[in-house]
Amino acid sequence: MSTVAGLTRATLSKDLRLEWRSKDAINSMLFFSLLVVVIFSFSFDPTAEESRHIAGGLVWVAFLFAAVVALNQTWARELRNQVLDAYRVSPAPPNALFLAKVIGNFIFVTVLQALMTPLFIMFYNLRALGPAYQLPIVAALGTWALVVNGTFFAAMSIRTRSREIMLPLLLFPISIPALLAMVEATSSILTGDFSAKFWIVLLAAYDVVFTIASLFLFGFVLQAE
Amino acid sequence: MKRVFPILAVPTAALLGYALYEALVAAPTEQTMGNVQRIFYYHVPSAWTAFILFFVNFFASIAYLIWRNTKADIVALVTAEVGVVFCSVVLVTGPIWARPVWGIWWTWDLRLTLTLVLWLIYVSYLVLRKFSSSGQTPLLAAVLAVFGALDVPLVYFSIWFFRTQHPQPVIGGGGSIDPRMLHVLLINWLAFSCFAALVCWSRYRLEILRREFDETMALEALLEPRTSHTNSSRSAG
């Protein structure tokens, strides 16, 4: 167990250091979601009341597209200099690598959300009418759902032709229940009309199911030849 | 093997013809909906057939992950392809029926959305198979099939939260059905299942032949590397 934790920590700190020095993923994600926010804001120009209803969908669509940008880079980075091949022949457990990548992406997307949320509030005049303390919970669970599946499917799509296109094609259909839950939970907290409890439970169930499934199956994908 | 196809195809065609007659002529006309209701004899059997094929795909994928059996992989491929076709039939016939009866083409109700999501998942499965390089395709596809199957209950519960507009399932649900109609429905389902099995079987044969052909071509290319040179010199000139 300690080897898994140690390897995870080592890989994670390597990824974070790489990102800290290059800032490739975070910059492209930030600029991308900024563009989405501005374009949506132009095309809808909503009042405060309307924006409360559509903001849940808007926010998560922006984060989803931005996350795909980062997810596409996670494994592509390891293809240079055959790092992934080296990892495959090493006796290190595959799940340590997978967990490190998931946690790394989770941190990137969370940083993105922390930076983008003030902008959303500004552009759309948002104010939560429901229990606002639930928003961070929804954000954390939703981000984990996107990132755990996204990292897994990114590892699958680097094995295909035109890999950049492949990731959203695999990720979006499977993520539909999670996306629905995130959007509905955020909307019900913002409008205060309904309780978001059911959606939070559903998101948590989604996270548990797909985290376990990914940990089970990642070995197959890494070793696929 | 060539003999087997007509032996299976003729009874299937006869059964399909009989089922068509039963659905269009013999079945009683529904009281309130009229003749539009007859699309039900295509819609429901297609749906059942598609779901059975997706089930088979799931088990074949699991079997491939455990035993790495090529035949299991081909079964998974074939059932996904034919399943997507039948699922498309469901998604096309549904709105044609819904427009005159409900007054709308589409609604985000439980069964409709679940079918659409299933269709999307299996289309992405086929895209993955198309785009991945041949050696890794079976494994990646099997993994994706497992993910898709895990997704289905979650989709179900997420949409269950909205009120459902679709008529209750006629078999095992609260709805009642004329025994004559049920009879026609079951005949149609039998015919559709036979047809699906026939298509799957010939596609299976085709896939085995295609793989054998690919292997032979690869071997020949290894033995004679000259052909590619002549091609490139011609294009240069």
Higher pLDDT, A55 or A138: A138
What's the maximum distance between 2 C-alpha atoms anywhere in chain A? Answer: 57
Q: Is residue A164 within a helix (H) or strand (E), and if so which, with residue range? A: helix A163-191
Nearest of A25, A19, A61, A22 to residue A40 by alpha carbon: A61
**Rounded Cα distance, A64 and A178, in Å:** 11
Which of B91, B79, B93, B75 lies closest to B122, judged by CA?
B79
What is the mean pLDDT of the segment spanning B26-43? 82
Nearest CB among A174, A180, A205 relative to B147 is that of A174
Q: Which helix (H) or strand (E) holds B213?
A: helix B179-223
- Alpha carbon separation from B130 to A161, B109, B124, B125 (Å, rounded): 9, 31, 10, 9
pLDDT in tens, B132-168: 876 788 999 999 999 999 988 888 887 777 555 556 5
User: What does the pLDDT read at residue B173?
Assistant: 47
pLDDT tops 70 at residue B227:
no
Say what the pLDDT of residue A99 is: 93
Residues 166-225 of A with CB under 8 A from B: 166, 169-170, 172-174, 176-178, 180-181, 184, 198-199, 202, 205-206, 209-210, 213, 217, 220-221, 224-225
The fraction of chain A above a pLDDT of 90, given in percent, is 37
* Distance of alpha carbon B190 from alpha carbon B16, whole angstroms: 9
Report in angstroms the alpha-carbon separations of B237 from B48, B228, B231, B232.
58, 15, 10, 9
- Of A173, A172, A178, A171, the residue nearest A206 (C-alpha): A178
* Per-residue confidence (pLDDT) for residue B172, from 0 to 100: 47
Q: pLDDT-derived band of residue A106, with 50, 70 and 90 as boundaries? A: very high
Question: Is the pLDDT at B235 greater than 60, yes or no?
Answer: no
What is the DSSP-derived secondary structure letter of residue B106? -
Q: How far is B73 from chain A (nearest CA, A)?
A: 15
pTM: 0.85
Answer whether B65 touches A (CB < 8 Å).
Answer: yes
Q: Which of A70-84, A99-113, A135-149, B170-184 has the lowest mean pLDDT?
A: B170-184
Radius of gyration of chain B, Cα coordinates, nearest whole angstrom: 22
Indicate if the alpha-carbon torsion angle B162, B163, B169, B174 is positive or negative: positive
Question: What is the predicted pLDDT for the residue at A93?
Answer: 87
Buried b (16+ CB within 10 A) or exposed e, A31-42: ebbeebbeebbe
Q: What are phi and psi of B5, to 5 degrees?
A: -60, -50
Q: What pLDDT shows up at residue A225?
A: 61
DSSP state of B164: P
pLDDT band, residue B232 (cuts 50/70/90) = very low
Work out how many CB contacts closer than 8 A connect A with B: 87
pLDDT at B59 > cutoff 90:
yes
Q: Measured between alpha carbons, how far is B212 from B208 in angstroms, rounded to an integer?
A: 6
- What average pLDDT does the structure give for chain A? 87
Mean predicted confidence (pLDDT) in A126-131: 80
- pLDDT class of A64 with cuts at 50, 70, 90: very high
Residue from A65, A68, A64, A81 nearest A18 by CA: A81
Nearest CB partner across the interface for A181, out of B65, B144, B158: B158
Structural domain spans, chain A: 4-224
Question: What are the angstrom distances between the C-alpha of A29 and each of A26, A140, B217?
Answer: 5, 18, 45
- Quick: pLDDT tens for B177-211: 778 888 888 888 999 999 999 999 999 999 999 98
| CA–CA dist A160, B151 (Å, integer) | 23
Please report residues of A whose CB lies closer than 8 A to that of B139.
Answer: 220-221, 224
Going by pLDDT thresholds of 50, 70 and 90, the confidence category of residue A162 is: confident
- pLDDT, tens digit, 9 for 90 and up, residues B89-137: 999 998 888 888 888 888 777 788 889 999 999 999 999 998 887 678 8
